[in-house]
Amino acid sequence: MVDREHVQMLPKPPVSKWQAEVNGLKSEILVESNAILLDVLRDKVGTLGVKRGCDMGTCGCCSVLVDGEPRLSCLMLAEEARGRSITTVEGLADGHHLHPIQTCFAEAGGSQCGFCTPGFLVVCSALLEENPEPNKNEIKDAIEGNLCRCTGYQQIVEAVEMAAEIKRSDESPSNLTTPSSDPHPVGPDEPSLPPGDAR
Amino acid sequence: MSGAPRQSFDKTRKDGKRVAGQQDFGVPGSGGSSPQSKLQNIDNIPMSQGGQKKQPRGPHVHDQHITGTSIGKRTPLVDSNWKMTGQARYGDDIRLPGELIGKILRSPHHYATIRSIDTRAAEALKGVVAVATGKDSVNSFGVLPVTKDEHALAQNKVRHVGDLVACVAACDEATAIEALSLIEVEYDILDSIHDMEDGLEDSEHPIHDRGKYHIGESNIQKRVFQQFGNLSSMDEAAASSEADWTFAGLHHGFTEPHAVVAHWDPTGRLTVYTPQQVPHYLHRALSSVLDIPMHQINVYRTFVGGGFGGKSDPFPHEMCAAILARKSGSPVRICFDREEVYWINRGRHPSRIQMGVHADDEGRIAGIETDALIDGGAFASFGHVTTYYNGVLHTSPYEIGGFHYTGARVWTNKPASGAMRGHGAVNSRCAVEVGIDEVSEKLGLDPMTFRLANLLPPHSRTITGFRITSTGMRECLAKVREQSGWDKKFRNLPFGRGIGVGCGFFISGSGLPIHWDPENFPHATVHLQCDMDGGVTVHTGAAEIGQGSDTAIAQAVCEVLALPLDMIRIRSQESDTAPVDLGSYSSRVTFMNANAAIRAAIDLRDKILKATWELIGYHPDQLVLGDRRIYYKHDPAIGVSWLEAVHKAQADSGSLIASGSYRTPPMGGVHKGAAAGLAPAYSFSAYVAEVEVDAETGFIKVVKAWAAHDCGKALNPLAVEGQIIGSCHMGMGQVLSEEMKYGRNGHLMNPDLLDYKIMSVHEMPEVVPIIVESNDPEGPFGAKEAGEGPLLPILPAVCNAVYDAIGIRPDELPLTPDRVHKMIEKKCKELEIDDPLELPNPSFEPSALQQKISERAEEHAERDLQRDLLKDRTAYVNGVLFGFDPELPLIEQDEGWREAITPEQEDLIEDGKRAARAWKHAERRHRGDD
């Protein structure tokens, strides 16, 4: 066999303490200086809602908000996000009250297999913060970096329009519970009564 | 109590009696997230059952089980909130404590024998726990029992770049990658084959050896010959279209890369967590590869981030994870990067298809001649089936005078092709529909009318013996014609803008399961379990891959039991708890599993009704299921809550368990290959596409598409529309931009999502989804498939629109600007035109025949309606249009009629056909020289 010298592939990078606010919670962990934000979020912080689709910024599945701006976490060093505020799909809902974009995606059929959904949701929520009344083209521009293989995008654009309307009208949801309360509505008045005699 | 006091909806008749289904009962005390019973929606109950829902195609056997609860309502997927909140766990999201990371060493060569593998240095590396090579797994596997030609790791040959050679499990990814670089492999490189036509010839080292069944010494994996009908009618055709198509290979492009976690638990059982469409085949393959009994394996299907057929084979990396986990004693997780996804492939076959479509002077389709050579890559995968599908799936929706098909699938040194949405039917469908467009033009006919005058009616048989039950083809064509403004636009749009039509036909579940005899074992089984809480747990093996199978099954159950959807819980992930199911392929899940679910639900309902009978004294015939309330039909105030009835039933018989299964009825012919394409029902679709072609650059833009699909009955219109639009997205990708590009040396040049061009939101045109409901007699509540069929018609619709725009018939896909530009240049040269903008714009002048076939189309419309309503119950087979008597075998009525599945000597002399050449070889067992 040919003798050949083996060169180690990855020199061990220095490790340091990294902190950031992920979905409103302070996160303090040790990361390598060359760590990619996506890896840190998935493997160390544990926000597995951030998806790995391509590792090269083509699919948009790994989108997160950094200080409210949509970023591709697979193309970002964790170092860059140090000390900043990161929102992943897990941070969109308020307790059990879903963000309008989450409700509308489900209702409009904007998600089928759901793998690209986290990326779309964070990007669209950022769009709605910036532009409460986006037209179809503005929506398309916002999600052009995200690939969806199931839906054909049509229902996604509809979902964003629906969500924008709900958000604009600022109607408090018919659900009167508080976000942190029991997600299930109150039970029957008097379950002991036989049915039909209830009133 | 939340909310304002509710308005009362109680309805009484004039005589003071309460109207069933329209009473407002307060608290049912039966669970569910809403405490109030809902009114029954009589708009969703068919007229035959006293509701208001119109039944244009007559009643259905499931009508009496419709409670108006769920079927036909736009229903968000039952698992959508998991996905919305990021809590859905896909393959790579399964994290077990103490996990190791597995990585795979892949072949850098197209074709080589392995002389030696030295893993010592890798094993010695700190952090490496296990290394495996081909020696650790010698048993072969494959998705089809007849072609088990894969191994977890290469045995002594690597067959394509990316073939698996060795794998390692290490403490982290960096160490695993490092270890791979330490494995020394010596290869002896062999001459590789990349062109599919080379595969037809004898070779020194065929890629596989099939022993006595090997065809010559070639690389032909499967060959098919089929001839039905009278071929002489083709020779006398009034108009013919001959085309030689080239279709590029395609990848599914799902967003989730393959990933798997394998774990041997302390009792010695293996659990494999994997995003699989077909967990049962993996279950079988794992058992044979690992040499352990099936009951020691639990296959856990995680959420699947897109399948489209690409996650339906048992995969070698799944075996690798199990092998590494066994060797290391720890859970092992393997996640692919995007490039590896392309190395495992299983996408659409690159194909060369010669298509001849012939029409006679009465505007009938005299015959279709197809020769399909498909490039299978290095392994068989579903190849047997694909080879058949390329032919048999275009014998409908039209009545044809003759059908001649030669098909062959060859091995080449590329990543293996396999099943992809529209399995085997897509490419040849495109070719045949473009051919039909061309012959109708040659006959001076409107292609829409031509199609309408040649459709098979409901309750008929195709030329190869498929049993057509319901068909909504006519209505699909009528709807797209109207909504697209076809009659105004066809051949009237300015140069560079065009409109085209295409049709489709697809199986709704494969009639023959791959691994067992349906006579002995049902296609699908569903178990229901109802306990004290009143909720119903559904155990099914149907793989939810995002298409909404969990939702469809839950809907079927809640429809029969009249329960709110949130009281149905689906357990479909684990083989430990699910009844055996064949998985999500061939568009079978809704048809087969929902049918099984309905039967199970009826069983459960009967038990509950019997208990109610004992409680209130009315016979089940007199009882109605309302929302969590069962009541006396003639006085809705007399009744019990769901929970009371459940408790009573449990007091009588212990826990409530019900089971239902589905098997297909006997159907189809008896010839070899008759089972390929056989299905209990078929879906139909017709699309119109409008395009803009820039004749100077060759750039094509689809402006809008109208997509009508006959899904039998839309159980969930939201999901059906999603499937239609999604199919259009994938189909337009194939026709405009997607291809797996192989370089001159046979290397795949675009194994990433940047160069493999999936349509982004900007390229995607508006699609108008149109649902047509033909109410299939055997489908669950009348439903058929909607997942794959909707992809087929978009390709020919776009191709035909391109012709309408610039007068050039494409014969190569995808229609990337460079290809289209070349076609335009060629055409300009032919016509001696300098400026492409001066190319002639196709025009349409109806011939004398047009009037005649339009009358025939109208007659047929009436015929079809009568057959649909079962007022006309006469037999109908393909051939009646040509004057045959359907009651007698056609072969007795026409001397020239042939039904053959092996060629005769004179067939072999033929002409410049490609796949037909596969028949010049003799199988080794027939050669007598060994």
Residue that the structure tokens 């498909």 belong to: B374
pLDDT digits (tens, 9 = 90+) for B150-187: 999 999 999 999 999 999 999 999 999 999 999 999 99
Structural domain count, chain A:
2
B600 and B471 both lie in a single domain? no
pLDDT score of A11:
66
Q: Kindly state whether A11 is in contact with chain B, defined as any CB-CB distance less than 8 angstroms.
A: no
Q: Which one of A112, A120, A136, A197 would you mutate to disrupt binding with B, by most B Cβ within 10 Å of its Cβ?
A: A112
Most distant pair of Cα atoms in chain A: their distance: 90
Across all residues in chain B, what is the average pLDDT?
92
In a domain, residue B96? The reply is yes
From CA B404, how far away is CA B231, in angstroms rounded?
A: 8
In a domain, residue A1? The reply is no
- Which of A57-66, B28-37, B87-96, B787-796 has the least mean pLDDT? B28-37
Specify the DSSP class assigned to residue B589.
Answer: I
pLDDT score of B891:
86
- Residue A98 scores a pLDDT above 60: yes
Alpha-carbon gap: B304 to the closest alpha carbon of chain A (Å): 6
- Test B86 with A118 for CB contact under 8 angstroms: yes
pLDDT digits (tens, 9 = 90+) for B467-484: 999 999 999 999 999 999
Q: Kindly state whether A174 is in contact with chain B, defined as any CB-CB distance less than 8 angstroms.
A: yes
- Mean per-residue pLDDT, B821-846: 94
pLDDT score of B522:
87
Neighbours of B842 (CB within 10 A): 17
- Mean per-residue pLDDT, B797-824: 96
A26 and A87 both lie in a single domain? yes
- Test B81 with A186 for CB contact under 8 angstroms: no
For chain A, give the percent of residues with pLDDT over 70: 79
Write out chain B residues lying below 8 Å of A179, CB-based. none
- Test B3 with A150 for CB contact under 8 angstroms: no
Q: What secondary structure does DSSP assign to B397-442, as a single string?
A: SB-BSEEEEEEEEE--SSSPP---SSTTTHHHHHHHHHHHHHHHHH
By residue range, what is the domain housing residue B33? 13-74+522-662
Short-list B408, B403, B475, CA closest to B899: B403
Write out chain B residues lying below 8 Å of A151, CB-based. 722, 725-726, 729
Facing A114 at nearest CB: one of B88, B760, B767:
B88
B503 and B529 both lie in a single domain? no
Q: Which residue of B has its CA nearest to A60?
A: B255
- Test A105 with B84 for CB contact under 8 angstroms: yes
Question: Which CA distances in Å does B676 have to B228, B786, B890?
Answer: 15, 20, 22
Write out chain A residues lying below 8 Å of B76, CB-based. 106-107, 109
- Test B174 with A148 for CB contact under 8 angstroms: no
B563 and B613 both lie in a single domain? yes
Q: Which residue of B has its CA nearest to A50?
A: B86
A75 and A134 both lie in a single domain? no
Q: Kindly state whether A56 is in contact with chain B, defined as any CB-CB distance less than 8 angstroms.
A: yes
pLDDT score of A180:
58
pLDDT digits (tens, 9 = 90+) for B326-341: 999 999 999 999 999 9
pLDDT score of B816:
96
A84 and A104 both lie in a single domain? no
Write out chain B residues lying below 8 Å of A58, CB-based. 752-754
For chain B, give the percent of residues with pLDDT over 70: 95
In a domain, residue B776? The reply is yes
- Test A114 with B718 for CB contact under 8 angstroms: no
pLDDT score of A191:
39
B739 and B886 both lie in a single domain? yes
B49 and B102 both lie in a single domain? no
Q: Which one of A4, A139, A149 would you mutate to disrupt binding with B, by most B Cβ within 10 Å of its Cβ?
A: A149
Alpha-carbon gap: B615 to the closest alpha carbon of chain A (Å): 13
Q: Provide the token pair at B411.
A: 């091995």
Domain boundary among A55, A70, A91: A91
What part of A 123-142 touches B (C-beta under 8 Å)?
140
Q: Which residues contact B486 (CB under 8 A, 6 or more apart)?
A: B448, B480, B499, B501, B688
Q: Phi first, then psi: what are they for A26, rounded to 5°? A: -75, 130
Q: Kindly state whether A162 is in contact with chain B, defined as any CB-CB distance less than 8 angstroms.
A: no
In a domain, residue B206? The reply is no
CATH number of the domain enclosing B626: 3.30.365.10
- Residue B126 scores a pLDDT above 70: yes
B326 and B310 both lie in a single domain? yes
- Which of B371-385, B496-510, B911-925 has the least mean pLDDT? B911-925
B44 band by pLDDT with thresholds 50, 70 and 90: confident
A86 and A24 both lie in a single domain? yes
In a domain, residue A158? The reply is yes
Number of A:B CB contacts under 8 A? 224
- Mean per-residue pLDDT, A155-166: 95
- Which of A120-134, B383-397, B635-649 has the least mean pLDDT? B635-649
pLDDT digits (tens, 9 = 90+) for B641-666: 898 899 999 998 888 999 999 988 88
Residue that the structure tokens 């019973």 belong to: B37
Neighbours of B911 (CB within 10 A): 8
pLDDT score of A192:
39
- Which of A64-78, A84-98, B165-179, B902-916 has the least mean pLDDT? B902-916
- Residue B532 scores a pLDDT above 90: no
Residue B898 Ramachandran class (φ > 0 left, ψ -120 to 50 alpha, else beta) = beta
In a domain, residue B616? The reply is yes
In a domain, residue A48? The reply is yes
Across all residues in chain A, what is the average pLDDT?
86
Residue that the structure tokens 């077990």 belong to: B96
Write out chain A residues lying below 8 Å of B719, CB-based. 109
User: Per DSSP, which regions of B627-698 are E strands?
Assistant: 629-632, 635-641, 656-662, 682-694
- Test A10 with B725 for CB contact under 8 angstroms: no
- Residue B7 scores a pLDDT above 60: no
Give burial (CB, 10 Å; 0-12/13-18/19+) of B566.
middle
Short-list A88, A84, A85, A83, CA closest to A73: A88
- Residue A190 scores a pLDDT above 70: no
Roughly what angle, to the nearest 10 degrees, separates helices B549-561 and B594-616? 20
Facing A151 at nearest CB: one of B629, B631, B722:
B722
- Test B718 with A109 for CB contact under 8 angstroms: yes
- Test B761 with A9 for CB contact under 8 angstroms: no
Neighbours of B571 (CB within 10 A): 16
Contact B150, B141 (CB under 8 A): yes
B723 and B810 both lie in a single domain? yes
Specify the DSSP class assigned to residue A144.
Answer: T
Question: Which CA distances in Å does B718 have to A39, A111, B479, B791?
Answer: 35, 11, 19, 17
**DSSP H or E run through A18:** strand A15-22
What part of A 177-196 touches B (C-beta under 8 Å)?
184-196
CATH number of the domain enclosing A21: 3.10.20.30
Domain boundary among A48, A67, A91: A91
Domain boundary among B636, B662, B688: B662
pLDDT score of B351:
96
From CA B515, how far away is CA B287, in angstroms rounded?
A: 14
Q: Kindly state whether A149 is in contact with chain B, defined as any CB-CB distance less than 8 angstroms.
A: yes
Specify the DSSP class assigned to residue A147.
Answer: -
Neighbours of A38 (CB within 10 A): 22
- Mean per-residue pLDDT, B557-574: 94
pLDDT score of B633:
84
Residue that the structure tokens 């050039």 belong to: B808
Short-list B578, B575, B584, B523, CA closest to B552: B584
In a domain, residue B782? The reply is yes
Facing A154 at nearest CB: one of B2, B26, B725:
B725
- Test B84 with A155 for CB contact under 8 angstroms: no
Write out chain A residues lying below 8 Å of B338, CB-based. 53-56
By residue range, what is the domain housing residue A79? 15-91
Question: Which CA distances in Å does B510 have to A52, B262, B471?
Answer: 34, 30, 18
CATH number of the domain enclosing A156: 1.10.150.120
- What's the full length of chain A, in residues? 199
From CA B305, how far away is CA B583, in angstroms rounded?
A: 16
Q: Which one of A150, A153, A162, A199 would you mutate to disrupt binding with B, by most B Cβ within 10 Å of its Cβ?
A: A150
Q: Which one of B83, B180, B716 would you mutate to disrupt binding with A, by most A Cβ within 10 Å of its Cβ?
A: B83
- Test B629 with A195 for CB contact under 8 angstroms: yes
In a domain, residue A189? The reply is no
A32 band by pLDDT with thresholds 50, 70 and 90: very high
Single-letter residue type at B427: N
Residue that the structure tokens 């051949």 belong to: B491
Short-list B285, B591, B201, B226, CA closest to B406: B226
CATH number of the domain enclosing B162: 3.90.1170.50
Tell which wins on pLDDT, B134 or B901.
B134
Q: Which residues pair with B704 in a beta bridge?
A: B690, B766
B584 band by pLDDT with thresholds 50, 70 and 90: confident
- Mean per-residue pLDDT, B6-13: 54
- Which of A115-129, B29-43, B400-414 has the least mean pLDDT? B29-43
Alpha-carbon gap: B105 to the closest alpha carbon of chain A (Å): 15
Alpha-carbon gap: A83 to the closest alpha carbon of chain B (Å): 23
pLDDT score of B300:
97
In a domain, residue A186? The reply is no
pLDDT digits (tens, 9 = 90+) for B680-713: 999 999 999 999 999 999 999 999 999 999 999 9
A87 and A21 both lie in a single domain? yes
Cis peptide before A194 (omega within 30 of 0): no
Label the pairing between strands B629-632 and B635-641. Answer: antiparallel
- Test B2 with A185 for CB contact under 8 angstroms: yes
pLDDT score of B637:
83
Q: Provide the token pair at B665.
A: 């009825």
pLDDT score of B18:
66
pLDDT score of B460:
94
CA B830, B835, B836: angle at the middle one, nearest 5?
Answer: 70
Q: How far apart are the first and last CA of chain B?
A: 85
Tell which wins on pLDDT, B676 or B493.
B493
In a domain, residue A187? The reply is no
Q: Kindly state whether A95 is in contact with chain B, defined as any CB-CB distance less than 8 angstroms.
A: no
- Residue B3 scores a pLDDT above 50: no
Q: What is the b/e burial string over B185-224, where b = at least 16 CB atoms within 10 angstroms of the residue's CB?
A: bebeebebbbebeebbbebeebbbebeeebbbebbbbbbb
- Test A48 with B762 for CB contact under 8 angstroms: no
- Test A185 with B767 for CB contact under 8 angstroms: no
Q: Which one of A75, A113, A151 would you mutate to disrupt binding with B, by most B Cβ within 10 Å of its Cβ?
A: A113
B647 and B780 both lie in a single domain? no
B123 band by pLDDT with thresholds 50, 70 and 90: very high
A115 and A79 both lie in a single domain? no
A21 and A86 both lie in a single domain? yes
- Test B721 with A6 for CB contact under 8 angstroms: no
B688 and B626 both lie in a single domain? no
Facing A112 at nearest CB: one of B181, B547, B644:
B547
- Residue B782 scores a pLDDT above 80: yes
From CA B725, how far away is CA B735, in angstroms rounded?
A: 15
A106 and A161 both lie in a single domain? yes
Residue that the structure tokens 């776009």 belong to: B798
Q: How far apart are the first and last CA of chain A?
A: 89
Specify the DSSP class assigned to residue B463.
Answer: T
B139 and B177 both lie in a single domain? yes
B648 and B686 both lie in a single domain? no
pLDDT digits (tens, 9 = 90+) for B848-858: 999 999 999 99
Q: Which residues pair with B228 in a beta bridge?
A: B403, B899
Question: Which CA distances in Å does B536 have to B339, B555, B561, B567, B925?
Answer: 43, 12, 10, 6, 56
pLDDT digits (tens, 9 = 90+) for B489-507: 999 999 999 999 999 999 9
pLDDT score of B2:
37
- Mean per-residue pLDDT, B619-642: 88
B645 and B700 both lie in a single domain? no
In a domain, residue A4? The reply is no
From CA B179, how far away is CA B169, in angstroms rounded?
A: 9
In a domain, residue B326? The reply is yes
Structural domain count, chain B:
3
Q: Provide the token pair at B586.
A: 């061939």
From CA B453, how far away is CA B673, in angstroms rounded?
A: 29
pLDDT score of B846:
93
Neighbours of A102 (CB within 10 A): 27
Q: Provide the token pair at B444.
A: 């001076």
In a domain, residue A192? The reply is no
Q: What is the b/e burial string over B723-732, where b = at least 16 CB atoms within 10 angstroms of the residue's CB?
A: bbbbbbbbbb
